[in-house]
């Protein structure tokens, strides 16, 4: 069976270093906000090109913390794409704000700018564009067409190491007000459990984030604001320090596999999505009209595939009562037909060629 993604294989060459670092943390008996946490934050901010980085417990909390740090009025609206992981939506709700859905582009997983403009009201205080599948939203263009008072927080949970059009990394603090990342195990940069991080160039927001994530205290027992318990574990930070060093190398392998897919998959039933030039291909998503048949066929041929994601936000059972009959055409088509091909950076040439051959034989 060709697995969809093997973290074990990706980390095999740094496994001993990771185990050694875990042992050091255990021996030091410093599991909460240890030196490794601050070291990882420093390295990640330098990698992205931002002034500051604040780690936290997971990607969902990263967005929630970012929104809370802005002190927006409670009736504020936050625009998000209808096609995204549920975390983006829940984070807005958890921050006490109102999420407003807009459609994505046709055959393109990124948020539609025209739809954004149509949904902006005097209550719109923030927009969260999602760099879905590692494809990158044109933030510079978005900034030009919206009111300057509307804050952009980009959800970079699937775009670690990707670049904007000006070749500055996603998460570079001078591009958006705040950028948030999930460091879930299956991400391009993933921990061995839940983890997240936020980047910004704004010192005031940086200090707020540090306080909020640590139960409202910059120093122990000095609780000066309402906070949450959203810290990154020292053990996870010690692992991420090593994994960050090989992120670019593994991203380049993802890009090479993607190029092979684009060039060699020749099947009229398979449709490619549009990806931006500097994508890091967290997922390689195609669309297939008869998805169930295709997935069964691939499973029979011992190839594991995925679906990201089977439902748009408005289609989820809990939210149907909120959105009723409102439709988001492009997002719903993608949800119905999407299939994620294996994009494990450790796939061999033989495995990639086999996957391509099998797909080309699908009918």
Phi, psi torsion values for 62, nearest 5 degrees: -60, -45
Angstrom distances, CA of residue 117 to CA of 81, 99, 282, 355: 13, 15, 28, 41
Quick check: do 10-245 and 247-360 share a fold?
no
Residue 126 CB-density burial (10 A; 0-12 exposed, 13-18 middle, 19+ buried): buried
Decide yes or no: CATH 1.10.3720.10 for domain 247-360: no
DSSP 15-36: HHHHHHHHHHHHHHT--BS-HH
Q: Decide if 124 contacts 149 (C-beta within 8 A).
A: no
CB neighbour list of residue 139: distance below 8 Å, 6 or more residues apart: 129, 152, 154, 164, 175, 176
CA geometry: angle 79, 82, 85, nearest 5 deg: 100
What is the tens place of the pLDDT at every residue in 218-238?
A: 888 889 888 999 999 999 999
What is the tens place of the pLDDT at every residue in 135-168?
A: 999 999 999 999 889 999 999 999 999 999 878 9
CA-CA distance, 344 to 354, in Å (whole number)? 14
Domain residue extents for the chain:
10-245, 247-360
CA-CA distance, 344 to 4, in Å (whole number)? 6
Q: Decide if 154 contacts 59 (C-beta within 8 A).
A: no
Average pLDDT, the chain: 96
Reduced to 3 states (helix: H, G, I; strand: E, B; else coil), residue 126 is strand
Reduced to 3 states (helix: H, G, I; strand: E, B; else coil), residue 204 is helix
Residue 220 has a pLDDT of: 85
CA-CA distance, 14 to 240, in Å (whole number)? 11
10-245: which CATH architecture?
A: 3-Layer(aba) Sandwich (3.40)
DSSP 240-278: HHHHHHTHHHHHHHHHHHHHHHHHH---TTEEEPP--TT
CA geometry: angle 126, 127, 130, nearest 5 deg: 145
Reduced to 3 states (helix: H, G, I; strand: E, B; else coil), residue 338 is strand
CA-CA distance, 271 to 280, in Å (whole number)? 19
Nearest in space to 138 (alpha carbons), one of 170, 173, 180: 170
CA-CA distance, 40 to 241, in Å (whole number)? 5
pLDDT < 70: residue spans in the chain: none
Q: Decide if 174 contacts 148 (C-beta within 8 A).
A: no
Q: What percent of the chain has pLDDT over 70?
A: 100
CA-CA distance, 11 to 204, in Å (whole number)? 36
Q: Is the Cα dihedral 228, 230, 233, 238 positive or negative?
A: negative
Q: In which region does residue 102 sit, left (phi positive, over 0), alpha (psi from -120 to 50) or beta (all else)?
A: beta
Residue 317 has a pLDDT of: 87
CA-CA distance, 185 to 167, in Å (whole number)? 26
Gyration radius from the chain CA atoms: 20
Label residues 310-340 b or e (16+ Cβ within 10 Å = b). ebbbbbeeebeeebeeeebebbbbbbebbbb
């Amino acid at each position: 069976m060709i697995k969809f993604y093997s973290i074990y294989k990706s980390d095999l060459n740094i496994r001993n270093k990771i185990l050694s670092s875990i042992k050091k943390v255990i021996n030091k008996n410093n599991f909460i906000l240890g030196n490794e946490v601050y070291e990882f934050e420093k390295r990640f901010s330098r990698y992205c090109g931002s002034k500051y980085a604040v780690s936290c417990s997971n990607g969902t909390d990263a967005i929630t913390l970012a929104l809370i740090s802005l002190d927006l009025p409670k009736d504020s609206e936050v625009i998000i794409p209808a096609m995204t992981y549920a975390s983006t939506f829940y984070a807005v709700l958890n921050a006490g704000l109102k999420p407003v859905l807009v459609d994505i582009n046709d055959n393109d997983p990124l948020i539609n700018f025209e739809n954004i403009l149509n949904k902006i009201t005097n209550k719109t205080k923030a927009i969260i564009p999602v760099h879905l599948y590692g494809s990158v939203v044109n933030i510079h263009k978005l900034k030009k067409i919206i009111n300057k008072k509307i804050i952009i927080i980009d959800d970079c949970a699937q775009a670690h190491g990707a670049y904007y059009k000006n070749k500055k990394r996603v998460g570079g603090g001078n591009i958006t007000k705040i950028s948030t990342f999930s460091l879930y195990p299956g991400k391009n940069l993933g921990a061995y459990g839940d983890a997240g991080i936020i980047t910004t160039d704004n010192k005031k927001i940086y200090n707020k984030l540090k306080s909020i994530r640590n139960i409202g205290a910059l120093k122990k027992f000095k609780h000066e604001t309402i906070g949450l318990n959203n810290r990154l574990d020292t053990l996870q930070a010690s692992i991420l320090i090593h994994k960050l060093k090989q992120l670019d190398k593994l991203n380049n392998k993802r890009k090479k596999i993607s190029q092979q897919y684009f060039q060699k998959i020749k099947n009229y039933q398979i449709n490619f999505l549009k990806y931006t030039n500097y994508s890091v291909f967290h997922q390689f998503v195609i669309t297939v009209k008869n998805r169930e048949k295709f997935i069964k066929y691939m499973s029979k041929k011992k190839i594991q595939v995925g679906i990201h994601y089977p439902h748009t936000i408005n289609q989820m059972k809990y939210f149907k009562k909120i959105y009723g009959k409102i439709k988001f055409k492009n997002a719903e088509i993608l949800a119905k037909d999407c299939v994620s091909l294996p994009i494990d950076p450790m796939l061999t040439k033989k495995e990639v060629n086999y996957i391509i051959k099998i797909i080309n034989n699908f009918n």
